[in-house]
Structures are given as C-alpha cells and as structure tokens.
Amino acid sequence: MASTRRTFLTQAAAIAGTLGIGARWNQAWTHPPRVGINPVVVEEGQAVMTSTWNHGMLANDAGFQALDAGGSALDMIEAGARLVESDAEGLSVGIGGLPDRDGNVTLDACIMDHRGDAGSVCFVQDVAHPISLARNVMENTPHVMLAGAGAEQYARELGMPVTPLLTEQAQLAWERWKETSNYQPIINIENHDTIGLLAMDDQGRLAGGCTTSGVAYKMHGRVGDSPIIGAGLYVDGDIGGATATGLGEAVMRTVGSFLVVELMRQGASAQEACFEAVQRIIRSMPTEDLQVGYLALGKDGQIGGHAIHSGFNYAQHQRSGTGAPIESVLIDASYGGR
Ligand code: ASP
C-alpha cells in the first residue's frame, strides 16, 4: 500500500514537474510536439466558416478578414468571436450580456484547434474578450480551463483591462426581471444567443470557439455547456467540429458536441450527426420547453445544423473558388424529432 502511494506521489511529482505546477505561470509555455495529426490539404480557396445565429454573419466576415490578413482557422475563430463579444447591444455574449440573478455578468468561452489543443475560461467577470483569454490558456499555459477569480487574475497578468460588462440596457432588463424574479430554466430565442463558431482554413485546418454570457438570470456561479470541451464545442482535426447553443444543462448531460463529432467519425454527415444528437436529448428528457441547436462542420467542408424547436439559424460563409467572392448565407436550421 505504502509503496503504491509512494509510486503515485512520485508519478504525481513527475507530472507536476512536467507541467511546471508549483512554479508561477508567467512564462510562455511550449506545447510538447504532437505527432500523427496532420491536416489534410484541401484545394486552395476552400476555406469555410459557420457561426450560430444572426450575429454569425458578422462574425464570419471578421473571420474571413483575419484569414485574408494571413491568419489561420484559429485566428478566424478568435476574430469572429471578438467581434460579437464587443457588441454592447447583444444581450447574450460579452459586454452587454444579461446578468445572473444577482446582477453579475459572468462569461464562459472556449476554443479548440485541429490538433486537439483546447483552452477554456468560465465564470469570468470584467474581461471583455474571454475567447482571447481562453486562447491564451490553450497556447500559453499547461492547462485547459481556468475559472473565476483565477481566470481573471490571469487576464490581468496578460494585461487585459478590467472591463465592466453590465450595460444600462442589461441592467434595466435585470431590474424588470427582478419584479417577478421568475426564473424558469426555459430557453427562448431572446436569451440563448451564444455564438458558436467553426472554421476551416485554406490549409484544411479546423478550429472552433464558443463564447457566451450564459443563460440570463442564472444562479450566481452557474456554468453552462459553452466552456466545456465536448459539450459546447468539440473539434477533431481529422473529422470535423461541432458547437451547441441552447440550454446548456441538456447539452452537458449528453456531451453533445463530442457526440456530434463521434457520429461524424462513424460516417454520419454533419447534418445527420446534428439531427441524431438532438434526438439523444429528445429521447432522454422532456423538451417541450427547452431549446438546443447543434451546428457542425465536417472535414469535407459540409455544414449541418439541427435544433429541437424551430428558430435556430446559422450563418455560413464559403469561398466559391480561388479569388472568387465569399458567399454569405443565413440558414434556418431544421428541427424536431423523427
Ligand atoms: N448554451 C448557453 C448556456 O447554457 C446558453 C446559450 O446558448 O446562449 O449557458
């Protein structure tokens, strides 16, 4: 027993040493080299980006601008997410997001690339761009997820300013809500506009991101699916990516985005995989009053989206060929069960 424990402690110390745990994390961290995961090179000019909801149109524009400036799929994701996070009129992402029931705006975000690297932050306050913080967690720390005060501390160490996120508009909405304080974990179209983004660049590299202020008037401390790798987002560089919007509790219980990608691995198209992941929810819980929508991008460039109820849409931007203009289109997702 003692030797088992000693072995464990030795192993733990070795792992901690590898991760640098115990040291203060101010230095850029270098990922160990990855082997065996090589992006497929697709035809020049085949980049594609898809993002949830109406704001996905502008997000995709920003993504393609980043691509055209020499960026990667990851840069497309970060640029698109940052644009939506900056919109103080939007009530569901970044500044301007509706607060929790105590009046705090708390943000969740994550990002993932074709190599399976992932970064995430949750329950973050006063940070304007949680997507960039998540990317920093991914690229410059040995960790995948930072939460709350620790994530905020890391933001300050990176020089990100303290940004109050509760706008007058959101505060007024919260004060109106407090008149009844009628929290129902029912997601309707006004308060579930998380942005989930998926992109593939001209080199065939996939990336994804998800950023949100979460469900309006949630309990303080509640974290949804959006920063959870496998729930709100999953990317496998050889298969495709998926992201979710809607009631996070339903997505987390079914590990939805991971499920979508695994279904694609088994041969389902992006559309079929989203459909099947929605059926998994429909089969496992009452869904009259809850909405979930999945969006997927296959390695083949195909996009699919499906939701429990009507109302979920997504933006799709794709080049029509080298040098040709980008085709932008907003699509109403299919919905419902078998
Ligand atoms: N999925 C988010 C959450 O549960 C909500 C949303 O999609 O806006 O926090």
What is the predicted pLDDT for the residue at 8?
A: 37
Cα distance between residue 94 and residue 108, in whole Å: 9
Per domain, the residue ranges of the chain are: 42-335
- Check if the beta carbon of residue 256 is closer than 8 Å to that of residue 231: yes
Ligand 1 proximity of 224 Cβ (cutoff 6 Å): yes
Mutate to test the pocket of ligand 1, among 85, 121, 215 (most ligand atoms within 8 A of CB): 215
- Give the three-state DSSP class for 294: strand
Q: What is the pLDDT of residue 46?
A: 81
Q: How far is the CA of 204 from the centre of ligand 1 (A)?
A: 29
Choice from 225, 228, 255, 312 to test ligand 1 binding pocket (greatest atom count within 8 A of CB): 225
| Contact predicate 138/117, CB 8 Å | yes
CB contact at 8 A, 192 and 210: no
Which pair of tokens denotes residue 142?
């040995």
User: How far apart (Å, rounded) are the C-alpha atoms in residues 200 and 179?
Assistant: 46
pLDDT score for 327? 74
By the 8 A CB rule, do 272 and 300 touch?
no
Which of the residues are catalytic? 194
Ligand 1 neighbour 246 (Cβ under 6 A): yes
Residue 257's pLDDT is 98
Ligand 1 centroid–CA 310 distance in Å is 17
- Integer angstrom CA distances of residue 326 from 46, 201, 294: 10, 13, 24
Q: Which one, of 136, 152, 149, lies nearest residue 28 by Cα?
A: 136
* Cα dihedral 255, 209, 296, 44 in deg (nearest 10): -150
CA 108 to chain centre: 8
Phi, psi of 112 (to 5 degrees): -150, 145
- From the alpha carbon of 246, which atom of ligand 1 is closest? 7
Give 42-335's CATH code, choosing from 3.40.50.20, 3.40.50.1240, 3.40.30.10, 3.60.20.30: 3.60.20.30
* Contacts of residue 193, Cβ cutoff 8 Å, sequence gap at least 6: 52, 53, 55, 90, 91, 92, 93, 245
Maximum separation of any 2 CA atoms in the chain, in Å:
68
Q: Are strands 326-332 and 313-319 parallel, antiparallel or unpaired?
A: antiparallel
Beta carbon of 100 within 6 Å of any ligand 1 atom: no
* Residue 52, ligand 1, Cβ within 6 A: no
Distance 39 CA to ligand 1 centre (A): 30
Per-residue pLDDT of the chain (338 residues; tens, 9 = 90+): 333 434 433 444 444 444 444 344 444 545 554 443 444 444 555 899 999 999 999 999 999 999 999 999 999 999 999 999 999 888 899 999 999 999 999 999 999 999 999 999 999 999 999 999 999 999 999 999 999 999 999 999 999 999 999 999 999 999 999 888 776 655 555 555 899 999 999 899 999 999 999 999 999 999 999 999 999 999 999 999 999 999 999 999 999 999 999 999 999 999 999 999 999 999 999 999 899 999 999 999 999 999 999 999 999 998 766 666 677 899 999 999 85
Ligand 1 site, residue 226, Cβ cutoff 6 A? yes
The one-letter amino acid code at 58 reads L
How far is ligand 1, taken at its centre, from the CA of residue 170, in Å? 17
Residue nearest atom 8 in ligand 1 by C-alpha distance = 192
What is the sign of the dihedral through the CA atoms of 293, 73, 212 and 223?
A: positive
Residues 247-281 as b/e (b if ≥16 CB within 10 A, e otherwise) read bbbbbbebbbbbbbbbbbeeebbbbbbbbbbbebb
CA distance 165 to 141: 26
Q: Is the CB of 212 under 6 A from ligand 1?
A: yes
- The tokens for 126 are 């006063």
Tell me the CA–centroid distance for residue 161 and ligand 1, in Å. Answer: 25
Which numbered atom of ligand 1 lies nearest the CA of 214? 9
Position 328 scores a pLDDT of 81
Residue 43 is predicted with a pLDDT of: 52
Calculate the dihedral angle through the C-alpha atoms of 333, 107, 59, 155, rounding to the nearest 10 degrees.
-150
